[in-house]
Structure 1
Amino acid sequence: MNAPLLTTPRVEPFFFDAEPGTRFSLYHAPNPQAAPRGAILYVHPFAGELGRTRRMAALQARAFAELGYAVLQIDLFGCGDSCGEFNAGRWQIWHEDLALAAAWLAERDSGPLTLWGLRLGGLLALDAAARLDVRRVLLWQPFMSGRACINQFLRLSEQLHDPAPGAPRSTAALRAQLAVHGAIEVGGFEVAVPLVKAIDACDAAHVVLPRCAVHWFAHGGPAPAKVGAGAARLGERWARAGAALHFHPLDGAPLWHGAGELDLPGLRAATTRLFSGDPA
């Protein structure tokens, strides 16, 4: 893989050589006038949420770089501008992509590593934290259950268009269709059974985290107490392995799926404030 040459703080696009193919990435060099703070690896969300939140993630990455962090955004295999069709994406390949990206960052910054995940990327980041040497995990509105993510993805088929007469409407019926045909397309994104099974099997309650800090930012929506209670239960589980959860509730209930760009300035500002210090 070809590394970008660093001269002044900037955003450098490049491609990783990986198996299979290549991965598109953006490297945000740390501000040379700020004290080095370590590295941050971004784990993007699933399917259409990647495109909707790309600008928001880039703005946050630049804010991190200004603070002195080295930040890498990578499009996982089959996603965004990386090689491969979306229906060829696999959970294990995405793990391998993150391991490759973390090693690349470690060659350029010897500081502690933060995994930063958005939505399903948050669950993938938690799953990867058990395999990588991380100091901190940053979660933005994460799915704590892979099955819940897939169910929401399947329900979009009803919201995006009117199904043909006789077409399956319930999540169970759509899952049955997926099992029969081996793949299903929703909103231009086709997922195959192997990826769905792997995502379904991932649950934050069963992730064994290393000793690290977990900062979880979430909009409570119509049931903030329920979200907070769920976070508390997970925090108790993770504490047994030495991981410390810090839950940061936010007001509102943004619409993550749909058309158009999504930006949440309040989420970005709260995150920047936290990382301006030295979050444990």
Structure 2
Amino acid sequence: MTREIVSVEVAGCAVPCVAHRPAAPRGVVICVQPFLEEANRTRRLFNMVGTALAARGWSCLLPDLPGCGESPHALMQVRWQTWVEALAGLIARQEPPVRLFSIRLGALVAAQAAVRVPVERHVALAPVDRGDTHLRHWLRVRALASREIGPEVSVADLEGEIAAGRPLLLAGARVPAELAQEIAAARWPGTDYAGAAVYRLGSGIGGIDAPVYWQLAEPPEPGAAALQIADLVLA
């Protein structure tokens, strides 16, 4: 079993990926991360899931989609379809069978990509099905933080900035207004999508009794949860 960093050229973008590979892979699982700080807080979980999948004979790719993580592309140049097209291209480059494991906003990107390039199975943790509610969450986080660090802004102020076409600073990232508007407009696919197996963390629903990692500033080691998730992805 090996772990390496690879770069895959898809949809005109270089997509760096952490690749966990067994000696003789039976298939590949592509992991799709959530947005902004939630990606940082779940990175360890994704990597441990990748290790568990490789131990079970499946390759695992953890891509940094354009504008995210170690991507060489600036987030200010990214649009919603940039993510969807890059992920769809990455899926299409793999030898089947291909499965997806996603969290939060990553699940919405994954679902839209899987409409274009179908996969064998998609396991989604706490998927976002409406982009507008998710964007509003980040606007509330920004507004609350402004009360401590100043200058104070409201959610309505931030929505006005987006409407005026001005970028926002969210969780330390400069997000273009166009991308924010497209996130708000994004919806879970309709009847043309086969669907995902949906699970939640924190309550034990779906057999995963673990903390909600993306809500914790210092998430605990996700060893047991990673093993359970790997089992669900391969079910």
TM-score over 0.5 for the alignment?
yes
The 8 Å contact of residues 53 and 263 in structure 1, kept in 2 or not, is answered as no
Deviation of 1:218 (Å): 0.5
Q: Of the candidates 193, 215, 218, which is equivalent to residue 200 of structure 2?
A: 218
Residue 100 of structure 1 is matched in structure 2 by 89
In 1, Cα distance between equivalents of 2:110 and 2:4: 23
Note closer, same or farther for the CA distance 1:255–1:74 as it changes in structure 2 (3 Å cut).
Answer: closer
Task: Identify which of 191, 194, 199 aligns with 1:208.
Answer: 191
Within 5 A, what are the aligned runs for 1:30-69? 30-32=22-24, 36-69=25-58
Q: Does 1:142 align with 2:127?
A: yes
Whether contact under 8 Å (1:220, 1:249) holds in the other structure is: no
Q: Which residue of the other structure, out of 9, 14, 24, is the alignment partner of 1:17?
A: 9
**Residue 82 of structure 1 aligns to a residue in which SS?**
coil
Quick one: percent identity of the two aligned structures? Answer: 26
In structure 2, relative to structure 1, the CA distance for the partners of 1:19 and 1:255 (3 Å cut) is: closer
Residue 220 (structure 1) shift: 6.0
- Aligned-pair CA distance for 1:267: 3.1
How far the C-alpha of 1:40 sits from its partner, in A, is 0.9
> Contact between 1:184 and 1:192, CA under 8 Å: does it hold in 2?
yes
TM-score (norm. length: structure 1): 0.74
- Displacement of 1:269 in angstroms is 3.0
1:178/1:263 CA distance change after superposition, 3 Å:
farther
CA distance in 2, matches of 1:160, 1:20: 36
Give 1:22's aligned amino acid. Answer: A
User: Contact (CA 8 Å) 1:138, 1:215: kept in 2 or not?
Assistant: yes
Residue 269 (structure 1) aligns with = 227
CA distance in 2, matches of 1:30, 1:95: 27
Change (3 A) 1:178 1:145: same
The superposition leaves residues 74-130 of structure 1 with CA deviations (integer Å, 9 ceiling, x where unpaired) of: 101111111122222211111121122113322xxxx32112111110111111111
Q: Deviating runs (4+, > 6 A) in structure 1?
A: none
The alignment of Structure 1 onto Structure 2 pairs a total of residues equal to 234
d(CA) in 2 for partners of 1:265, 1:158: 34
Instruction: Determine the structure 2 residue equivalent to 1:158.
Output: 143
Which AA in structure 1 matches 2:47? Answer: A
Q: Distance in 1 between matches of 2:3 and 2:13?
A: 23
| 1:116 counterpart residue number | 101
Map of 1:231-246 to 2, 5 A cutoff?
Answer: none
Which consecutive residues of structure 2, in runs of 5 or more, have no partner in the other structure? none
Rg larger in structure: 1
Within 5 Å, give how 1:165-204 maps onto structure 2: 167-169=152-154, 171-204=155-188
CA deviation after TM superposition for structure 1 residue 133, in Å: 2.2
- The residue identity in structure 1 corresponding to 2:53 is F
Q: Secondary structure at the match of 1:144?
A: coil
Which residue identity is paired with 1:28? H
Q: Separation in 2 of the partners of 1:255 and 1:159?
A: 20
Shift of 1:52: 1.9
Gaps of 5+ in 1: 1-8, 225-246
Structure 1 contact 141–216 (Cα < 8 Å) conserved: yes
1:226-246 deviation line (CA, Å, top 9, x unaligned): xxxxxxxxxxxxxxxxxxxxx
Q: CA deviation at 1:250?
A: 4.2
1-structure distance, mates of 2:208, 2:144 = 26
Per-residue deviation, 1:182 = 2.1
C-alpha separation in 1, matches of 2:40 and 2:33: 9
Q: CA RMSD in A?
A: 2.5
